[in-house]
Amino acid sequence: MQTDSSFTFVLFGGTGDLSMRKILPALYEAHRAGMLEASGKIIAVARHEEDRNGYLQWVNEHVKAHVSKNGIDENAWSSFLERIEYVKLDLGKAEDFVKLRDAMQDLPGTRVFYLATGPSLFVPICRALASVGLNENARIVLEKPLGYDLRSSNAINDAVGEIFAEGQIYRIDHYLGKEPVQNLLALRFGNALFEPLWRREWVESIQITIAEELGVEARGDFYDNTGALRDMVQNHLLQLLSIVAMEPPHSMDSDSVRDEKLRVLRALKPIDPRDIGKVAVRGQYHAGVIRGASVPAYATEPGVKTDSATETFVALKVEIENWRWAGVPFFLRTGKRLADRVAEIVVNFRAVPHSALGSSAPRPGANRLVIRLQPNETIRLYCLAKKPGEGMNLSSVHLDLAFDQFFKEGQMEAYQRLLLDVIHGRLALFVRRDEQEAAWKWVEPILNEWAASGKPKPYAAGTWGPAAASAMLAQHDTCWLEEEN
């Protein structure tokens, strides 16, 4: 169904990998589903010497492969391409931004500027947009990473904030747009069943994992100056943590949701530098085998320093100092070249205080909720049931919410949802500045300690990371989900 929100979507970095893999495919899916106002236009901006036809040929070659499993509807694809214009732009030339302003002059609706560029270009682009008056009636989307640490993040936010009001700034974290994350909110705040259990009295521990089989690919130069703590923990993992642990907001409007997330981030127990070795594990992958194929060590990847001390794996024990969660450990984990590609949230409920079932008493972890974000998006509730036959013998069973089986409508990809939210002016799923500052403040002691200490612990590609990550959980009489079997 059509919306009544006209827009002009300007995509900086219009020939880049992110635009080809995520942004343009998401806009195409929204177009095919009739979710974009018919008059809406897309202007791709890049330095390449192309005219519009040349750019559309580039899009045909590089975007179609990344469209969802629904494939391409050629009629919808042709009409989608009609939305697209191309402007060659050199950030160092003020006259090029005049050219962009002229290209947008007669286009209606809200202006959306998506900066699919490196963070070093955020401030120059914003200032150049303001110099030609394009910061009015506009929204600006900033991709991660937003800075290298708290100081650099504040510098970017200060500069962008001089040009755009906070309500115009959309700091994107695509994990917040995933369907299971939205359903986590629905489960928690739409069902009386879970609310009484969602607290320290009934939750033993919580795990949040984002694991990748891939290495750094062609991003060695970027990654070697970033690392897993900055690239994944400071944003994705802490955002997921705040969604899991937040108090019920009084409504789902943008500030109500983000206020509650901020309270969680501010309640994170500060990490004493002297304790970092006990609650934080960093690793770096060495050569190994993934799905039968040999893969090289991180230090031999293109763009990576041979003596690099950059971490490709992080595991953390996190505590939240408030009444709901005091004493409950949250275990966060992320890494590259791990044994599987998976993102999931595991809520382990406490065992019953007394079992009347004798030797068939429930084992730890028998009651749990697993929210799978990728590759297949599901929510699974584990409980115990009696096995058929003689005697009271128990077995673990599960109740599934598999979205692709239960709902006939196709699922919306994370970028599609978030781009539509930008166009419609919905901020709830975007990171507010004070959230970002709170996250940086919490991770900085770890960053500083690791910068001053030795190298990460090695782990073989195709495994689940350093053994120290498992030992950290063993101290709390638990283990990572995949280790139970």
Catalytic residues: 236
Query: Beta strands 342-349 and 203-211: pairing type?
Result: antiparallel
Q: Please name the residues in contact with 423: beta carbons below 8 A apart, sequence gap of 6 or more.
A: 3, 5, 7, 9, 36, 40, 110, 112
Query: Beta strands 394-402 and 378-386: pairing type?
Result: antiparallel
On the 0-12 / 13-18 / 19+ scale of CB atoms within 10 A, 121 is: middle
Q: SS in 3 state form for 379-424?
A: EEEEEEEECCCCCCCEEEEEEEEEHHHHCCCCCCCHHHHHHHHHHH
- Answer for the pair 461, 295: CB distance below 8 angstroms, yes or no: yes
In this structure, the dihedral spanned by the alpha carbons of residues 204, 208, 212 and 217, taken in order and rounded to 10 degrees, is -140
d(C-alpha 485, C-alpha 482), whole Å: 7
d(C-alpha 135, C-alpha 130), whole Å: 5
Name the 3-class secondary structure at 10.
strand
Q: Please name the residues in contact with 342: beta carbons below 8 A apart, sequence gap of 6 or more.
A: 209, 211, 372, 374, 375
Q: Please name the residues in contact with 283: beta carbons below 8 A apart, sequence gap of 6 or more.
A: 311, 312, 313, 314, 335, 456, 457, 458, 459, 465, 466, 468, 469
What amino acid occupies position 103?
A
Phi, psi (degrees; rounded to nearest 5) at 75? -65, -45
Residue that is written with structure tokens 């609310």 in the block:
195
User: Any bridge partners for residue 208, and if so which?
Assistant: 332, 345
Tokens of 206: 């919580």
Name the 3-class secondary structure at 275.
helix
Give, as one character, the DSSP assignment of residue 6. Answer: -
